């Protein structure tokens, strides 16, 4: 039997201390690499004047009215809705503008929504992908960002939601056919930048999910407008893309296709390995696509994984680890919960967003580790999502 010497007793404590020191050093290093973001602007001072009392809930009256007023302030006379009022945000993203059009239609502001769609129609590509962003006068922003395929899906959804298929039929046809053109033999498109605004080597859920919503919307528009050939062609593409998405991204629906999937035993849900949770899993469910239990499970799981210590949500599991929450992604989970009937989660997240506005009442882009508003304010995408969430809490939003 080995003698129990004193140093053997304190050896485990030394190991634990060393491990804690390594972890602390790693944390400090990470915080140095990712300093606290600060607020760019407090927002646009104004007194919200919308009188949509029948369409705004009493609990979030000030929040929603201020969001609508900020959308008014960010929308130019030609219908161009800027993502924000300052510097690199002072451009039009087709994704953000599509959400703004939908939010306006959801609250009965149809004329304002059609102005947004009219601007998008004026800059639409007759062939190829939409540009990542445009100037307020409709010019391409030459800053090195690649064209993004996801916009083809978003503009189709906005056009369907606002029942504007007839006046914008060319936009519908060109965007839907572009999605078809991008699908390969496996039913999936090639990699494209998505809402993370970076070049991608792998296909991401941030591209696939909007395309599913877009094709579903295009089928509905073509059917309503009596274009059976287009409806059949786009439905076939939708079926192909949907099957491929389930096969490659399911059952967890992570940001990128899983490296492997484990099958434990019959009757036990398989688990995908790798890929990382992504906030855009919400786009695979209501109000973008009909609900499915497997997707609802994936959404709830991603929400748990992506929730930060400050209470908000980060864009993805593979996003930088800095404890900062992003308001569009937080609002996406709020909208998803409201559309799926989970009012408790929707109200919790909407209240969190309400409590972290700037001094002027604007919704910021981020909330930092100290629970301070950060980044640009107001942010059009977040404002639109908040309006849609409040609307969904009162009445079900239509699903294509």
DSSP character string of 111-155: HHHHHHHHHHHHH--SSSPBPS-B-TTS-B--SSPPPBTHHHHHH
The pTM for the full model equals 0.89
pLDDT confidence of residue 66: 95
Region 300-317: what's the mean pLDDT? 98
Q: Decide if pLDDT at 13 tops 60.
A: no
pLDDT confidence of residue 218: 98
C-alpha separations of 78 from 125, 137, 152 in Å: 18, 8, 21
DSSP character string of 180-196: HHH--TTS-PPP---TT
Query: 56 pLDDT band (50/70/90 cuts)?
Result: confident
Q: Decide if pLDDT at 156 tops 90.
A: yes
Q: Decide if pLDDT at 14 tops 90.
A: no
- CA nearest neighbour of 134 among 79, 176, 179: 79
pLDDT confidence of residue 1: 41
Region 373-384: what's the mean pLDDT? 98
Query: 274 pLDDT band (50/70/90 cuts)?
Result: low
DSSP character string of 310-378: TSSB-SBTTS--S--EEHHHHHHHHHHHHHTT-HHHHHHHHHHHHHT--TTSPPPSEE-TTS-EEBSSS
CB burial of residue 300 (10 Å; 0-12, 13-18, 19+): middle
Region 31-48: what's the mean pLDDT? 80
Least confident residue range of 15-29, 42-56, 379-393: 15-29
Least confident residue range of 51-60, 174-183, 202-211, 290-299: 51-60
Contact (Cβ atoms closer than 8 angstroms) between residue 215 and residue 241: yes
Domains within the chain, CATH numbers bracketed: 36-74+263-400 (no CATH), 82-249 (1.50.10.10)
Mean pLDDT rounded to a whole number for the chain: 90
pLDDT confidence of residue 262: 54
Model confidence pLDDT, tens digit, residues 202-227: 999 999 999 999 999 999 999 999 99
pLDDT confidence of residue 53: 46
Query: 55 pLDDT band (50/70/90 cuts)?
Result: low
Region 169-191: what's the mean pLDDT? 97
Region 143-148: what's the mean pLDDT? 92
Beta bridge partners of 261: 272
CB burial of residue 102 (10 Å; 0-12, 13-18, 19+): buried
Q: Decide if pLDDT at 314 tops 60.
A: yes
Q: Decide if pLDDT at 373 tops 50.
A: yes
């Amino acid at each position: 039997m080995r003698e129990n010497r004193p140093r053997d007793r304190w050896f485990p404590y030394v190991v634990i201390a060393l491990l804690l020191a390594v972890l602390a050093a790693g944390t400090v290093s990470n915080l140095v690499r990712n300093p606290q973001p600060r607020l760019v602007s407090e927002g646009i001072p104004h007194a919200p004047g919308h009188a949509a009392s029948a369409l705004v809930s009493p609990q979030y009256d000030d929040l929603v009215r201020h969001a609508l007023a900020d959308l008014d302030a960010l929308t130019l006379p030609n219908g161009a809705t800027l993502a924000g009022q300052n510097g690199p945000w002072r451009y039009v993203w087709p994704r953000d503008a599509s959400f703004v059009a939908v939010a306006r239609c959801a609250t009965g502001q149809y004329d304002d929504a059609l102005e947004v769609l009219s601007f998008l129609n004026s800059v639409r590509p007759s062939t190829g992908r939409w540009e990542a962003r445009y100037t307020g006068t409709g010019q391409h922003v030459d800053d090195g960002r690649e064209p993004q395929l996801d916009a083809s899906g978003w503009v189709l959804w906005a056009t369907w939601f606002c029942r504007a298929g007839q006046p914008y039929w060319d936009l519908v046809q060109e965007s839907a056919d572009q999605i078809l053109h991008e699908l390969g033999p496996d039913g999936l498109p090639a990699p494209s930048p998505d809402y993370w605004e970076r070049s991608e080597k792998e296909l991401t859920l941030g591209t696939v999910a909007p395309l599913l919503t877009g094709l579903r919307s295009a089928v509905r528009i073509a059917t309503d407008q009596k274009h059976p050939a287009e409806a059949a062609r786009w439905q076939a593409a939708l079926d192909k893309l949907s099957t491929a998405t389930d096969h490659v991204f399911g059952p967890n629906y992570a940001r990128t296709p899983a490296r492997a999937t484990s099958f434990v035993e019959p009757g036990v849900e398989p688990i995908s390995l790798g890929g990382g949770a992504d906030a855009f899993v919400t786009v695979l469910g209501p109000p973008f696509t009909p609900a499915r239990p497997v997707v609802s499970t994936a959404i709830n799981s991603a929400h748990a994984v992506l929730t930060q210590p400050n209470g908000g949500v980060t864009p993805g599991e593979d996003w930088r680890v800095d404890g900062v929450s992003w308001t569009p992604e937080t609002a996406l989970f709020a909208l998803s919960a409201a559309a799926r009937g989970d009012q408790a989660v929707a109200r919790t997240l909407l209240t969190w967003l309400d409590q972290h506005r700037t001094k002027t009442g604007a919704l910021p882009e981020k909330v930092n580790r100290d629970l301070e508003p950060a980044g640009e304010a107001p942010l059009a995408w977040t404002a639109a999502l908040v309006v849609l969430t409040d609307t969904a809490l009162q009445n079900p939003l239509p699903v294509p």
